[in-house]
Structure 1
Amino acid sequence: MNKAAELGLEMAHHSLGIAYAYGDEGEKNEKKALYHFRLAAIGGLLEARHILGQSWLQRDPNMAYKHFLIAAEAGYDESLKEVKTGYAEGHVKKDVFEKALRAHKAAKDEVKSEPRDKAAEWYRRHGPS
């Protein structure tokens, strides 16, 4: 995994972030976990961006919502939920929340296709094989 991360694979950084966050392979290290999540987020991995937002919530809500907004506007559902919560709690302004909603919808619409919708429907009915 380390070699793949050295080569710049975002999923490898994400996996290492999880391993360090939860102590897989014996070493629990928040600093290393956040380092790998940052690199995965920079590489475009939305789940890693969301995790960074969660890591900032208690220390700096403004920074947390910056991360959530980036992921939400790119179509990440869990981050949109956090932005909605931030709006309800007064951390996110109305116009920013509305912009995030529009961008989230646009991102979701961009990846819609009939074959993808059929596959999702099949999966809902039958589950994993």
Structure 2
Amino acid sequence: MKSQDTFKFAETHEWASLEEDGLIWVGISNHAQEALGDVMFFQAPKIGQQVKQGEAIAVIESVKAASDIHAPIGGEVVALNEEVDAAPELVNENPYAIWLFKIKPSSEASLNSDLANLIALDAYNAGPGA
């Protein structure tokens, strides 16, 4: 797992991590999992689904509420975390170690533009994740 210091965050509480293979791994922030409480269900996006930055593409449910998961970047959903499908409560254990799905960016230019719209950990913790 990469350090959360390298993650970029959306104001809707998703994190994005650019991995060495060029894919973006997506998860939810610690703030989000704490607000949700005990996660009970994750409705993942579909593999092959084309997504736009900010689009609601998945749902995570807890004993308290259901919440949309938004795409932090645009592209194509190329992988789902089967461990989360089988045991969604893993998100509560360490939300920065558990990715939900992976997105292949549409292009390098769109990736750079989308990443520029996200915020670093310090700014996230000072604002939406506070």
**TM-score band, normalised by the shorter chain?**
under 0.3
State the TM-score, normalizing by the size of structure 1.
Answer: 0.27
State the TM-score, normalizing by the size of structure 2.
Answer: 0.27
Instruction: Identify the structure with bigger relative contact order (alpha carbons < 8 Å, sequence gap 6+).
Output: 2
Q: Specify the structure having the higher radius of gyration (Cα).
A: 1
Q: Which has the higher strand share?
A: 2
Q: Which has the higher helix share?
A: 1
